[in-house]
Amino acid sequence: MRVPTADPLAPVTPPGVQADGAGDVWPDPDGWQSVVAAVRTALPEHRYAQDELTELIGDLCLAPGADRTVLRRLHGAAGVRTRHLALPLDQYAALEDFGQTNAAWMAAGLELGERALTCALEAAGLTPPDVDLVVCTSITGIAAPSLDARLASRMGMRPDVKRIPVFGLGCVAGAAGLARLHDYLRGHQGEVAALLSVELCSLTLQQRDDSPANLVAGALFGDGAAAVVAHAARAADHRSGRPAVVATRSLLYPDTEHLLGWTIGAGGFRPVVDAAIPDVVGARIGPDLRDFLAVHGLDPDDIGTWICHPGGPRILTAVAHALDLPDGALESAHRALAVSGNMSSASVLRILEDVTTNAPPSPGSWGLMMAMGPGFCVEFVLLRW
């Protein structure tokens, strides 16, 4: 099954699309939107309670006999109850260098990525040869050929499938990836685009590293993959009840590069997580999001569904306060954090799947996806059901 093609003589910029002068676009009733045909998540089979992981991380990261009071306090305050890991608990101590952890990322990532993308395509009523573009993102491992290249052959995609492997966006890549699908589909209205996120955060844990950043990451992050399949549709014809991307905005904040990311060395990816991140979020998210929504004649009160990256309890609190959100507005993010931890870029896609399949918003209602990542940066995606 293929999406009906647009007029081949139509301009590359979709008809009816207007620009606001700030890099945003949105369709009028005769324009185009990007419809999320399906989103699916794949989680590793190894699932553990938070207190089990606390003691494992203590064994791996702390010196023998070290006091674990601070570690246990961090894990208790993380808002996480369970997490899925790429490997069984007893295999992590045997990972002695980056080569071994990256090999584990490759093996588990291919399996989870294939499962997520296969399930998303099946849910959309499509097959691998229907995919015209695949964007693949991960910040927890590296490969050349990339995961998408390996999966294209493994899954039976066409030889002329277009691929965009992405590294470096981190937690923001779920929202940013969906935004880039939207950018592509605006100019390729008869095509199918897929986003695949594979994040195996447990494989980046640094052994014998008791730094605050490593311990915080060890308290929050989990493993998983997620895939989105999307196509373009005229706004006037969008009656499916599925979410459609209406507009997006990317923001990169100057002089904040030090707040979040990796220090990459012989041991692999050493986390950088600055305690000032919630302060930056609290100060910037409110004005910037209100400005974005105002372009479209909206304000936060008009948003019925919030899909926010679950960066941690302090991040979610900062977002809620900055936007004056009512109690429960970010419940989907808190729930995702509790059951699977922070899965980096896959988290907002998992929340989108949860919202879409378990409690579908009313047709015509507005949604807002947001995520933050290294840079320091933020991505807003305006959705409508």
Over residues 138-148, the mean pLDDT reads: 95
pLDDT band at 271 (very low <50, low <70, confident <90, very high): confident
* Contact status, residue 340 vs residue 309, Cβ threshold 8 Å: no
List the catalytic residue out of 171, 201, 308, 377: 171
pLDDT at 3 over 60: no
Predicted confidence band of residue 14 (pLDDT cuts 50, 70, 90): very low
| Arithmetic mean of pLDDT, 142-166 | 96
Angle at 92 between CA 173 and CA 205, to 5 degrees: 40
Between 10 and 306, the higher pLDDT residue: 306
CB 277 within 8 A of CB 108: no
Per-residue confidence band for 241, with pLDDT thresholds at 50, 70 and 90: confident
Quick one: pLDDT at residue 28? Answer: 41
Residue 308 annotated to the active site: no
Confidence of residue 15 (pLDDT cuts 50, 70, 90): very low
pLDDT at 2: 44
Point out the least confidently predicted range of 98-102, 209-213, 247-251, 340-344: 209-213
Of 276, 254, 292, the residue nearest 379 (C-alpha): 292
Residue 336 pLDDT exceeds 70 = yes
pLDDT higher than threshold 90 for residue 5: no
Adjacent-strand bridge partners of 163: 134
Q: In what order do the strands lie in the sheet with 32-42?
A: 162-166, 133-137, 192-200, 223-234, 32-42, 244-252, 377-384, 366-373, 303-308
Q: How sure is the predictor about 240, in pLDDT bands with cuts at 50, 70 and 90?
A: low
Return the percentage of the chain with pLDDT > 70, whole number: 90
pLDDT at residue 25 greater than cutoff 50? no
Which residues neighbour 63 within 8 Å (Cβ) at sequence distance 6 or greater? 208, 210
**Rounded-to-5 percentages of helix, strand, coil across the chain:** 40, 25, 35
- Distance CA(322)–CA(306), nearest Å, equals 14
Q: Is the pLDDT of residue 110 over 80?
A: yes
Residue 198 in this model has a pLDDT that exceeds 90: yes
